[in-house]
Amino acid sequence: MRLMLAPMEGVIDHTMRELLSSLGGVDRCVTEFVRVSERLLPPRVFYRLCPELHTEGRTASGVPVYLQLLGGQPQVLAENAARAAELGAPGVDLNFGCPAKTVNRSDGGSIILRQPERVHALVAAVRGAVPEGVPVTVKIRLGYEEHSRFLETVAGIEAAGATELTIHARTKKHGYRPPAYWEQIARAREVVSLPIIANGEIWSPADALRCQRVTGCSDLMLGRGALCRPDLARLVRAAVDEKQLEPLCWDAIPPLLLQFFELNLAHYDAGHAGNPLKQWLVYLRSYYPQAAALFESVKRLRKPEDIAVVLQQAVEHSAARRQAA
């Protein structure tokens, strides 16, 4: 079994990848998408979204990071994929799953699933441009408004030479509303031998085991669930191996929040470094009720030093509780 950390635009950037991969259990990360439209992009664009290129395409804990591209023109997509490989990306991922209206209106993401032949042409162009030893992976949904051409799309991706395929088990129209239609992934596995990674609605180890059972996939991709439960990858791995592992309690979370805030301070403008922290607290509060109170304490704060004081106090209170326990 392998566990992948999903690409989530504006949420799982390199700072979040560094933090979550450091907790263990993650076998691969994928960047936020690099938008490709009409030209070959300069190296700085790739380095900005994937600073791990400076460290052989790996996070600080050694987890490989594939660079994701999004676009609808075969030649320019292929040229940028070749550049990503030249810069040291350990793999190139193609995004045909993004449901955002702004992306779809500009001929990117899930709207291309309306035309399986275009998906095939784009994957084939990238595969032909990237060195044989560099994996070309693809991420899709079941379709755009419906899934009548889903299996045709999957077969075309395999025929185009993709290395692996990740399937988010919903259409664009479904958005992120539950349920995820895992049984459709099982159908895909019946028509191709291409390795498939299942994605969607995996919030707990029990969900992961059920997803594996329904889809027949051993490999999974974790997204929002890993933000709500930072140790989800480790817990899933333990469950699959039938081992007992104690989940992170709330008192283990404030030190991670402080670490994450410091990572953002080191890489982003000080005036905006608190925004990713606040966003993460919104996710965390769905699993840790205590995160709601901490979010209220920081949500109106702008100065980094004020946010740091609140986080440091939370760390100290957590340490005192653990010592007293």
Write out the DSSP string of 214-240: HH--S-EEESHHHHHSTTHHHHHHHHH
At 268, which amino acid appears? Answer: Y
What is the DSSP secondary structure assignment for residue 253, as one 8-state letter? H
What distance in Å separates the CA atoms of residue 109 and residue 319, rounded to the nearest whole number?
A: 45
Contacts of residue 306, Cβ cutoff 8 Å, sequence gap at least 6: none
Cis peptide before 99 (omega within 30 of 0): no
The C-alpha angle 190, 216, 207, rounded to 5 degrees, equals 140
Which of 288, 298, 274 lies closest to 318 in space, CA to CA?
Answer: 288
Contacts of residue 243, Cβ cutoff 8 Å, sequence gap at least 6: none
Which residues are designated catalytic?
Answer: 98
